[in-house]
Amino acid sequence: MIEAGWFYGDDLFLPQARTDADHENWMSFHRPEVEAHDMLLELFGMRDFWLFGGRMEALGLTFERHPTRPRFVTVKLDQEGLLSGLTTAVSGLTDWIKIDQVVRPEVRDV
């Protein structure tokens, strides 16, 4: 979206200092796994539904939320074969989100 010119100038503010409260807030909410979790909950109308997580059985999605700061949230698909169903469900609700169907190994912080 930045490359497309949607955001520029002050909209591109990115706090840099690790001791800066704005930086901590930004890091808490703008990691890819947090964005995916929050967008899918919003898209499927469940933004405020679960406190610590939950499941969407029909799509094979598990939403997890641990009450820490920075936020630790994930959304996981049960198996690769369900990816096309998720893609169809998302594309039926919005043109703004595209699902990358390339399956990558899970990455964990150490």
Provide the residue-wise pLDDT of the chain in tens; the chain has 110 residues.
777 888 877 777 666 666 777 777 777 777 778 888 888 888 888 766 666 778 888 899 988 887 776 678 888 888 888 988 999 999 999 988 888 777 666 655 54
> Is the pTM higher than 0.85?
no
How confident is the model at residue 50, as a pLDDT?
A: 60
Q: What are phi and psi of 89, to 5 degrees?
A: -65, -45
pLDDT at 93: 92
**For residues 86 and 43, is the Cβ–Cβ distance under 8 A?**
no
CA distance 53 to 85: 21
